[in-house]
Structure 1
């Protein structure tokens, strides 16, 4: 009888524990809208120059480099791979993009294996900017570099020229099941300063907010720090996993390059970040992106390529890549 009571008590205990875990953790996590927290890498294979199946803008160019020219080496942020890959495809000679081992492979950290002599590189924002400083890259496509990156250039005695070539929106996003579809600038800052911690405070469900953060010196993190005036949380609460996420990125990177049907961009101050609202400056968080080069670079084809990017042909290519031209076309 005593043994039966002990068994029954044990069963009841495990039932209680499982019910508690389900109601307090499993069910909550299952409805926390947090699928957006999964990290995604750019599929560089979709943007390889001179490949028929690549997703590149092919709008035509009246300027063409030959294999005998001093070809500028291009690199850039993940969000701008379609732009500089399309530039190479339009202006450079075939055979100028080369791979270690002879063919493209995504079997490494960044999904590329561009050879040292390739005119296309992909080292992303942090390593790519360093490559610009050391002279192995001639032209770097990027959002505005961070203060730290510009300080590093200054410490090395290097002057960087930043030429704005297009417009993009800095966006905030949530899971598609989150009922909130718009936030004000003040509400976003309140979330990322830790003053607003529950979605019900901004018209959503009674659920804690899980504010996602990006890597220091990445383009999106630099933009976020500028937007926040360098006054924002530096880490999330250990309990943030129980909340519904909010994140930030650039519009086309989010909607075109790592497109995820489970993610929805938010309107800011009631204005949605589409191309037209970027073009007419109605969307508040519109920013330029740049072609960056060292001012002491003596390759004559660097300024020639920058001038082409600002021409009607270059601006048309930027629009066809999915971004917004900075000059009328």
Structure 2
């Protein structure tokens, strides 16, 4: 009996020691390793619903007012551009043109999929929304520049596209707010993503592995990253990287205005921080246009009228009021 008790106590002691070792060497380190930069954030679409009191939308004195009975263009777009196209609807469309399956918006959907089929606002995100525009169920798609694969897919279906720049945004890199590194050069970032730089101490940070993160193929941010890198990214994943500090990438306003994650910070690139002024004056090197895309054979005359309005002073002011940057005059 005594031997049995000793055996049980030995098992308990070993279990405690093993769990303690795992906590100290893995769990505790991961909890303090800057890796909140890797957390994937979804936007709260309910903040950007047209015609709803309290929605976080830009409002201008618009001269373009569609009426009930008009052939209203259906709008969709990338997650980062929801505030723009939702604000367009709120300013230019008749109330009642945004509808929901079940009669009310439900934020239990992963991408807000309960916009009804007859709603002028849809939210299918970059990959599915682009395909919907190509297939004809969406008229105007708001996005970063389409990827080569998306353009090829449209061409294979015999669809020609109009791609019109309507505003400016910054492509940004971000890390945990506790990471002492505040900026990198473009070459350093490329070296991180090609595996030439693997530790933060090589770029002025602590002795900690770098955990470079990538996004879904075909997403706007992944397309921008591949353009920045000049090739498709193929990471040789080191399983120990999870113990290091993460670096990720996104678009400026999506990160700072929409998900507003105070646990991360954007990095300066080549000495320039990605604020609105540095985007306007061109000193931030990773400034990119964002676009509206539509089929050339779409005969809805209100599409071109809406695009022209977006390029007008009123439309550009709306883009600025949404938190983005207007095109240079």
TM range (shorter): over 0.9
**1:8, CA displacement in angstroms?**
7.8
- Distance in 2 (CA, whole Å) between partners of 1:3 and 1:41 is 53
Contact 1:104 1:112 in 2 (8 A): no
Q: Aligned residue for 2:137?
A: 136
Aligned to 2:249: 248
Does the alignment pair 1:28 with 2:29?
A: yes
Given the alignment of the two structures, is residue 52 of structure 1 paired with residue 30 of structure 2, yes or no?
no
Distance in 1 of aligned mates of 2:316 and 2:211: 38
Rounded to whole Å, the distance in 1 between the matches of 2:236 and 2:139 is: 35
Distance 2:16 2:116 in 1: 59
Q: Give the whole-Å Cα distance in 1 for the aligned partners of 2:133 and 2:73.
A: 11
Output the CA distance in 2 between the equivalents of 1:29 and 1:68: 56
* 1:241-264 Cα shifts (integer Å, max 9, x gaps): 111110000000000001111010
Match of 1:238 in 2: 239
- Partners of 2:178 and 2:228 in 1: how far apart? 26
Aligned counterpart, 2:115: 114
Structure 2 stretches lacking a partner, 5+ long = none
Q: In structure 2, how many angstroms separate the alpha carbons of the residues matched to 1:26 and 1:57? A: 43
Distance apart, 1:21 and its partner CA? 2.3
1:226 aligned onto 2:235: no
Q: Which residue of 2 aligns with 1:302?
A: 303
Contact 1:50 1:89 in 2 (8 A): yes
Matched residue, 1:326: 327
Task: Report deviation, 1:41.
Answer: 1.1
2:267 aligned partner: 266
What is the correspondence of 1:77-96 to structure 2 with a 5 Å cutoff?
77-96=78-97
Inter-CA distance 19–97: structure 2 relative to 1 (3 Å threshold)? closer
Alpha-carbon deviation of 1:234?
3.9
Structure 1 residues 114 and 16, CA, compared in 2 at 3 Å: closer, same or farther? closer
Match of 1:200 in 2: 201
2:101 counterpart SS class: coil
Contact 1:44–1:112 (CA under 8 A) maintained in structure 2: no
Cα–Cα, structure 1 residues 49 and 3, in superposed 2: closer, same or farther, change >3 Å?
A: closer
SS in 2 for 1:241: helix
Specify the SS of the correspondent of 1:133.
Answer: helix
Say how many residue pairs are matched: 328
SS in 1 for 2:172: strand
Alpha-carbon spacing, 1:304–1:235, altered in 2? closer, same or farther (3 Å): farther
1:181 correspondence with 2:182: yes
Q: Give distance in 2, aligned partners of 1:176 and 1:11.
A: 39
Quote how far apart the aligned CAs of 1:59 are: 1.4
Shift of the 162–5 alpha-carbon distance from structure 1 to 2, 3 Å rule, reads same
